[in-house]
């Protein structure tokens, strides 16, 4: 199921190699790829594939804090 539409702005959460979560930034959806994965474009022009977590959209920084505290 596609939750986000092309041109919609979303917040991207990413994970470091050490297992810490962070807010990578905001990007625009280019097209859905399936299973909550999307082709997105960051403001600097980078076009990349990313998982877009619907739960992170309301308050991404609070969501990252929760993920990191649960992982500790």
Mean pLDDT in residue range 11-20: 96
User: According to the model, what pLDDT value does residue 71 have?
Assistant: 78
CB neighbour class for 13 (10 Å; exposed up to 12, middle 13-18, buried from 19): buried
User: According to the model, what pLDDT value does residue 33 have?
Assistant: 96
Q: What is the pTM of this model?
A: 0.88
User: According to the model, what pLDDT value does residue 31 have?
Assistant: 97
Higher pLDDT, 22 or 70: 22
Architecture in CATH of 9-71:
Roll (2.30)
Confidence of residue 49 (pLDDT cuts 50, 70, 90): very high
Kindly give the residue spans of alpha helices, DSSP state H, lying in 1-72. 60-71
């Amino acid at each position: 199921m596609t939750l986000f539409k092309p041109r919609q702005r979303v917040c991207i959460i990413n994970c470091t190699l050490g297992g810490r979560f962070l807010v990578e930034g905001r990007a625009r959806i280019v097209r859905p790829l399936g299973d909550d994965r999307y082709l997105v474009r960051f403001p600097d022009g980078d076009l990349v594939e990313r998982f877009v977590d619907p739960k992170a959209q309301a308050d991404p920084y609070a969501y990252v804090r929760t993920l990191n505290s649960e992982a500790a």
